[in-house]
Amino acid sequence: MKKPKTPPIALLYQAKLPPIRDGVQKPMKPGGYSDSGADIAYELAKNGMEVITPVENPSIENDFDWVFPDTEEGIQNALTKGATVLWLNTVLYREHAIEHFFDRDIELVGQLPSKVDRYDDKLYTNRLLKEHQLPIPKTQLISREQPMNYEIEMDFPLVVKPLRGRGSQGVTLVRSKNELDAKLAQLFSDKIYGNAVYIEQYLSGREITVTVMPPGIYTINNRRKEFSKPWCLPAVKRFNHNDGIAPYSGVVAVMDNSAVLDDKELQSKAISKVYSYCERAAEIVQMNAPIRIDCRADDKGDYFLFDVNLKPNMTGPSRPQRKNQDSLTLLAARKLGWSYFDLLRNILDQRWKASTAR
């Protein structure tokens, strides 16, 4: 891929917890995605792109040397130092500090904060997709105020999930009413995930992850290709689950439990169908940047969409100490022949003007 000059870029990371929504506090990743932000910044810089950093000579081993906090002060600092493109590698929400800069002549890589705030509520998003006739597992909301003799509307085993989670944190498989009661008591006692959680039908088939890219012009095999609608990177299968749940990538590197489907599987009707579902879901949430959708098959092999993630992890092996940090999206991109830089460059090409934010 050619490496044309681009405007100066700065990476943002999450500097503080997001606001509580309906009593639910979304947990914060240690370091606030500064690790992946530094991976991105270093990869862009070593490929000749102008990257603005908080310090003059950033250390390859210090994540925070490469990224700016996503506060008003941090954003202003990046702009003062010359950045005209901000990569929003952070958790976004309504009234995020970046919204105070929407009147500036800058470009953004990432989602619109108000959309992330809306669709970060997993139960809301799943119900919205179901209204659009997309296949979603059966779900049920359970609140702290409900009596312990509440009725379960589906068969065990079930999956317990926070309304606003991160990765697989707080996600648990339960096989009986007693196990469910114990898990609910723990979650509501800890008060980590607010006053409500939801339970979901457990699907026993294969789990896959699909990265959906926004419409735009991309470079694939050294040729420019325009996509008028969202489109999917090759599906990645997940394996080596921990009690039915894919482990959090902060504990187990995704390279150790994930792989792109083989060519025969990628060409199957089932995968073609799930791609169409994922592309439709991406249209519904009006994505501005890549999203990741987790899907799982039932015992008949039919896939259901169970998690739409507007902030896919974007770690990569750009630095010597991070050679095992391929993200799920990067695993998929490699199937297209993209390197880490190719992936980042294509994402960067889809940046949008802050002044067009709605």
Whichever domain contains 309, its CATH number is: 3.30.470.20
Note whether 60 and 145 are same-domain residues.
Answer: no
Note whether 297 and 275 are same-domain residues.
Answer: yes
Find residue 67's DSSP bridge partners: 11
Note whether 246 and 217 are same-domain residues.
Answer: yes
Note whether 60 and 87 are same-domain residues.
Answer: yes
Whichever domain contains 149, its CATH number is: 3.30.1490.20
Residue with tokens 């992850």: 209
pLDDT at site 261? 97
Here the tokens at position 214 are 């926004």
Count of domains for the chain: 3
Note whether 304 and 260 are same-domain residues.
Answer: yes
User: How far is it, in rounded angstroms, from Cα 89 to Cα 188?
Assistant: 30
Note whether 188 and 213 are same-domain residues.
Answer: no
Note whether 181 and 237 are same-domain residues.
Answer: no
Count each helix (H run) and each strand (E run) in the chain, helices first.
9, 17
Note whether 195 and 225 are same-domain residues.
Answer: no
pLDDT at site 277? 98
**110, 130, 146 - which closes a domain:** 110
Query: Which range of residues forms the domain containing residue 61?
Result: 9-110
pTM: 0.93
Reduced to 3 states, what is the DSSP secondary structure of residue 79? helix
Residue 354 lies in a domain: no
Cβ-proximal residues to 203 (8 Å cutoff; 6+ apart), any chain: 137, 296, 297, 298, 304, 306
Here the tokens at position 325 are 């940090």
- Percentage of the residues of the chain whose pLDDT score is greater than 90: 75
The percent helix, strand, coil of the chain (3-state, each to 5) is 30, 20, 45
Length of the chain: 358
Note whether 101 and 20 are same-domain residues.
Answer: yes
Residue-wise pLDDT for 40-77, tens only, equals 999 999 999 999 999 999 999 999 999 999 999 999 99
Residue 121 lies in a domain: no
Residue 163 lies in a domain: yes
Residue 125 lies in a domain: no
Residue-wise pLDDT for 175-188, tens only, equals 999 999 888 888 88
194, pLDDT greater than 80: no
C-alpha 54 chain-centroid distance: 25
Note whether 334 and 212 are same-domain residues.
Answer: yes
Note whether 39 and 105 are same-domain residues.
Answer: yes
Write the CA distances from 285 to 106, 109, 115, 308, 327, integer angstroms.
23, 16, 7, 9, 22
250, pLDDT greater than 60: no
**146, 178, 201 - which closes a domain:** 201
Note whether 169 and 261 are same-domain residues.
Answer: no
